[in-house]
Amino acid sequence: MPVFNMAGCRTDCVEKPFSIGFQKFGRFVGRHPWWFFICPLVISTALGTGFYFLEDMEANNIEDQFTPVNGPAKLERKFVEENFPLNNSVYSNQRLYTMGEFASFIAVSRDPNIFTDGAIKEILRLDKKVREIKLSRGHEQLTYEGLCARKSNKCIPNKILDIMNHYGSNIDQTELTFPFFRFGFTTIFLGYSVGGVNVSSTVIKSAKAIRLFYCLKEGNRSTTDLWLNEFLKVFPSNQSLNFITVTHSTSLSRQVEFEANTRDVIPLFSITYVIAIVFSIVSCLRFDCVRNKVWVATFGVLSAGLAVLSAFGMMLHIGVPFVMTVANSPFLILGIGVDDMFILISCWQQTNVHARVEDRLADTYKEAAISITITTLTDVLAFYIGLMTPFRSVQSFCLYTSTAILFCFLYSITFFGAFLVLNGRRENSNKHWLTCKEVPEDCPVGRSKWYDLCCVGGAYDRHTGAEEVQPMNQFFKKHYGPFLVKPWTKVCVILLYSVYLSISIYGCFQIQEGIDLRNLAADDSYVNRYYDDEKAYFYEYGPNIMVIIRGEFAYWEEKNMLDLESCVEDFKNLSFIEKDIFTSWLKSYKYYGHHTNLNLSVENVFKTNLSSFLRSYSDFKQDVNFTNNSIRASRFFIQTVNITTALDEMNMLNNLRDTARRCSVPLLVYHPVFIYHDQYAVIVSNTVQNISVTTAVMLLISLLLIPNPLCCLWVTFSIASVIVGVTGFMALWDVNLDTISMIILVVCIGFSVDFSAHISYAFVSNKKPTANEKAVEALFHLGYPILQGALSTILGVIVLSASKNYIFRTFFKIMFLVIFFGLFHGITFIPVFLTFFDFCSSNAGNVSPQEKRTLENQAMTNCQPKNIQEKAIDHDKQIYDNHTFLPDNQQLFPTQPCPSVWTLTVNTHHTQSGQMCMASTVPMFRVDSQTYEVQMYTASNDAVTVNCNQNLGSGEHHCVIGNNQPPVLQECNAPVINCSDSADPVP
């Protein structure tokens, strides 16, 4: 009864012609190597001139690059800007629609209480020095007094300084109430000025910190920026202070520090490039002065460098903004390029060293085409899908990186392929890798070992004609592979995977959202020290939120007033809102109307008296857009408290907007920090969308290029598994889900496909009969190249772990997790899981006598000269790579179970023994002179394996058909068939 073979469901309608197309292209490159070597150099040089525009194309504005394009807060800001224009003569910090222009410092007491005579004197001395900062611009003198924000024609004061000056050394005996203090005829809010307070019945017993602001007038950035830069240069934070420590910042600081990070990463790339070259050379080093691949490795890394040069140059010529996140790209491209190089070298080494060089490259491209094409397509599409994200920093990174990957692929099959040909010609002439002088293949008698090592080369595998198998490949075939497919090892792998998945899922529930803006500066930046003090001592009172009534609204109607008051109460009832701190022009106007006996429920009275009220209260005049006797918009303010974490910020924004949405009055809420908090609203949804779309596209590509649908599902499984692992472990490694990690998670999909696709394709495309053997064979061919590619990528980004910047360190952390988990899936989990499901392997089962006769008949048909010639024309490697059949000398074993055996002619340099006999007409690719494995094809093209063992000297051949475990050897009572050595094999 025939076994149902799900491997028969194949999708090689794309894969096969694709491989043939690459084979032809490889032969063309092999015949014209200099063209394909020089043209990429010329193209790279031409496109590289785009770096002339690098400075002009730099776009590192934090708001533009790290906030959502057309985010809700930007639309809200536009509404505020149009309806509540700034008035520099009546400055109010809470009414700004931007973060404003300012300098600030925080003084922290070395003692438990900052309200001591010594600390106050030092603070007042610092304040004086700040006010004395001045600089010249041409003939103009720029001073704080001339640039400060004003109200009532005076610089906006730090009220806490007025209190200090007023009470002097007696301030520690004064009952300062918190957060409001009645000072003369005014009430001062101390929540933003005094921090780390210890309060008893609203009276401050002690305080740890004082924060001062020096606000500058809006609308003259070029001038105010000069003064702020001078403040950063001369601020006396390093002077001798005995009672306080000081940290400082300005409205420019975050941007300036962020831009400085790009310059800091350039030396790291230089180190990475050197590491990549050294690693590639060591990986490709051979103790054979002819087969040594030192120059191949060097030019492989150079190929990746040319790809970066070409892609970046082209993008700069086009005018694509260069964002700091793009600086991560070269590290990634270097790893990807070197990965492709290792795959191509691995396939090149499996070709026959005595074949023509163009044929060797053709065979290399035929074998490697699908692997490197899948990796390129998946990586490129992953990045292009990343263009859908609403963050410009992500869009620029994706565009630069995807273009660089395309160039990397093109240069791998042109520039690097051409160099393989040039190097192959040198090897064919048996010339030294360094001197290019011809050297002997065997060491002359009497020469030393050093001479043998340095001046003798050209060794190859005498059985296969290919280059000698590297020790690491043998390790995967003889040790790691067999160990991995043992039953108890599989059980351990399953348990390990269960632990991995459990920890990953737990980590996914710990993920935090959003990028902390303090992380945009270097770790040792003065800005971060200021933020640390701010978070430690001034966390209690958060942003003062505008609640805006949009459009015309009948404020005088009682029903509308009740609706509005209900909405206000909803806001006040939010857990993070301080009920007692509420600023409303309407509340004050009603109080004003009550004391002047005005009936404000009448429209005419309400509007007629509003102008006089607003003239009396200048601050409120900025809160009402009263134009042409119509109130177009108005606003009031609510105070947030205890907003300390990214989660608090996200919940605050969502709850405020939900409350405004539920209100029957048309409301919107706004604060300048909402521009940055908008990322919380889109980060998760965009991440899920990008991952879903990318995974679907990856599955489609896999279905087209991997000739087995069920194995494509394993690729998809690998994607999902690696994403879960990376997401979970990055949360446990203190990495948030933000714009940086979001795009690297999409990259994660591409790399997941890379590793799993390599091994899955090798699994389904080899001719081994059982799933275990297929797994071992796949690891033998691609285990080491995958390991090399993974290590090269990790080495490509490892220097970023030493970066002082969060963005680069985050890039390293996530890429390390991606590569580590992807590698582990590729060479451990996926091979083991594939062996559990024999869907992707051929299985002939036990062969009946009738089937054996069918096999013999099929063998007779296959060996006819016409069929052999057809297969030769098709370049069927399984038949014609190293062997030629002589159908005229066919002989049969007289007894079963051995099928027909044909005399095999081999070149003398292909085998150590002249006695080589092959069962059937389809020998395996590698042939050992003592043990060998061959395959026969039935009429239905199902594969049946014949395992044969020749006891040299005994004249016995033992054969077993099928996949019996353990194999049962049956003696074939037949004389030894002597194979003739022939210098003239049949073509």
Residue 876 has pLDDT above 60, yes or no: no
What's the alpha-carbon Rg for the chain, to the nearest Å? 38
φ and ψ at residue 671, rounded to 5 degrees: -150, 145
Q: Which pLDDT score, from 0 to 100, does residue 334 have?
A: 80
pLDDT for residue 34 is more than 70: yes
What's the whole-number mean pLDDT along residues 922-945?
35
Amino acid at 883: H
CB 385 within 8 A of CB 694: yes
Taking only the tens place, the pLDDT of each residue in 183-193 is 888 889 999 99
The helix/strand/coil state of 348 is helix
C-alpha distances in angstroms, 414 versus 282, 311, 314, 338, 372? 24, 16, 19, 15, 13
Cα–Cα dist 637/667, whole Å = 13
Quote the pLDDT of residue 241.
Answer: 86
Q: Which residue has the higher pLDDT, 52 or 744?
A: 52
- Cis peptide, bond prior to residue 966, ω within 30 of zero: yes
Specify the higher pLDDT residue, 862 or 96: 96
Residue 297: pLDDT band with limits 50, 70, 90: confident
Bridge partner list, 904: 885
Tell me the CA distances in angstroms from 127 to 149, 213, 576, one per residue in order: 16, 10, 33
Taking every pair of C-alpha atoms in the chain, what is the biggest distance, in angstroms?
128
| Structural tokens at position 99 | 């973060």
Of 304, 298, 290, give the one whose Cα is nearest residue 336. Answer: 304
The number of angstroms, rounded, from the C-alpha of 885 to the middle of its chain's C-alpha atoms is 52
Closest CA to 307 of 419, 401, 381: 401
Question: What angle is formed at CA 299 by the lines to CA 297 and CA 301, rounded to 5 degrees?
Answer: 70
Segment 837-853, tens digit of pLDDT:
655 444 434 444 554 45
Which residues share a beta bridge with 918? 902
Residue 968 has pLDDT above 60, yes or no: no
**Is the pLDDT confidence value at 457 over 70?**
no
Say yes or no to pLDDT of 1 above 50.
no
Question: What gap in Å lies between CA 431 and CA 320, rounded to an integer?
Answer: 47
DSSP 401-446: HHHHHHHHHHHIIIIIHHHHHHHHHHHHTTB-TTT--B--SSPPTT
Dump strand ranges (E) for 499-557: 541-550
pLDDT of 284 strictly over 80:
no
309-313, 444-448, 682-686: range with highest mean pLDDT: 309-313
Least confident of 74-88, 509-523, 873-887: 873-887
- Phi then psi for 555, rounded to 5 degrees? -65, -20
Helices 771-798 and 329-349: crossing angle in degrees, nearest 10, is 140
Residue 306 pLDDT: 94
Q: What percent of the chain has pLDDT over 90?
A: 35
Query: How far apart are alpha carbons 672 and 95 in whole angstroms?
Result: 10
**Among 338, 333, 312, 468, residue whose Cα is nearest residue 785:** 338
Q: Token match 């957060």: residue?
A: 179
**For residue 328, what pLDDT is reported?**
78
Q: Check whether 223 has a pLDDT greater than 50.
A: yes
- Residue predicted with more confidence, 490 or 764: 490
Q: 72-76, 345-349, 763-767, 929-933: which range is least confident on average?
A: 929-933
Range 39-64 average pLDDT: 91
Per-residue exposure over 880-904, b if at least 16 CB sit within 10 Å of its own CB, e if not: bbbbbbbbeeeeebeeebbbbbbbb
> 752 and 822 in contact (C-beta within 8 Å)?
yes
> Is the pLDDT higher at 239 or at 150?
150
Give the pLDDT confidence score for residue 27 in this predicted structure: 94
> Which pLDDT does position 716 carry in this prediction?
81
Which pLDDT tens digit goes with each residue over 650-707? Answer: 899 999 999 999 999 999 999 999 998 888 888 888 888 888 887 888 778 777 776 6
- Look at 349-363, 515-529, 696-710, 818-832 and tell me which has the smallest mean pLDDT: 696-710
**640/704 Cα distance (integer angstroms):** 55
Phi, psi values for residue 617, rounded to 5°: -120, 90
Both tokens of 924, joined, read 């395996």
Higher-confidence residue: 582 or 291?
Answer: 582
- Please state, in angstroms and rounded to a whole number, the distance separating the CA atoms of residues 47 and 42: 9
Considering only 47-61, 387-401, 773-787, 905-919, which range has the smallest mean pLDDT? 905-919
C-alpha to C-alpha distance for 982 and 73, rounded to whole angstroms: 82
Residues 894-913 have a mean pLDDT of 33
Which pLDDT does position 582 carry in this prediction? 92
Q: Which one is predicted more confidently, 16 or 6?
A: 16
Residue extents of the structural domains in the chain: 6-55+257-510+681-840, 100-250, 548-677, 849-972
Q: What is the pTM of this model?
A: 0.74
pLDDT > 60? residue 436: yes
102: amino acid identity, one letter:
F
pLDDT surpasses 90 at 708 = no
pLDDT for residue 892 is more than 50: no
Q: What is the pLDDT of residue 854?
A: 54
pLDDT tens figures, 749-794: 767 777 777 787 778 777 777 888 888 888 888 888 788 878 888 8
Can you give the pLDDT at residue 411?
Answer: 95
Contact 303, 408 (CB under 8 A): yes
Mean pLDDT on 407-424: 94
Residue 129: count of CB within 10 angstroms of its CB: 13
Q: Tell which wins on pLDDT, 414 or 380.
A: 414
pLDDT tens digit sequence for 226-270: 999 999 988 865 567 889 999 999 999 988 888 887 677 777 777
pLDDT value of residue 462: 60
| Local structure of 148: helix, strand or coil | strand
Give whichever of 85-94, 98-107, 591-600 has the largest mean pLDDT: 98-107
Q: E-strand spans in 173-260?
A: 180-183, 186-189, 194-195, 198-200, 203-206, 209-216, 244-250
Q: What is the pLDDT of residue 713?
A: 78
Q: Which two tokens stand for residue 685?
A: 């949804």
Cα→Cα distances 515→209, 507, 520, 666, 688, Å: 27, 18, 9, 31, 17
- What pLDDT is attached to residue 934? 41
Q: Band the pLDDT of 445: cuts 50, 70, 90.
A: low
Whole-angstrom distance, CA of residue 816 vs CA of residue 794: 6
What average pLDDT score do residues 926-932 get?
Answer: 33
- The percent of residues in the chain predicted with pLDDT above 70, rounded, is 78
Two tokens at 658?
């939900």
Output 23-28 pairs: Cβ under 8 A, ≥24 positions apart: 23/362, 23/363, 23/365, 23/366, 23/369, 23/875, 24/362, 25/365, 25/413, 26/358, 26/361, 26/362, 26/363, 26/364, 26/365, 26/366, 26/413, 26/417, 27/358, 27/359, 27/361, 27/362
End-to-end Cα separation, the chain, in angstroms: 39
Q: Count CB atoms within 10 A of the CB of residue 402.
A: 22
Pairing of β 209-216 and β 194-195 = antiparallel
Residue 293: partners with Cβ closer than 8 Å, 6 or more residues away: 284, 285, 286, 345, 423
Q: What mean pLDDT is reported for the chain?
A: 78
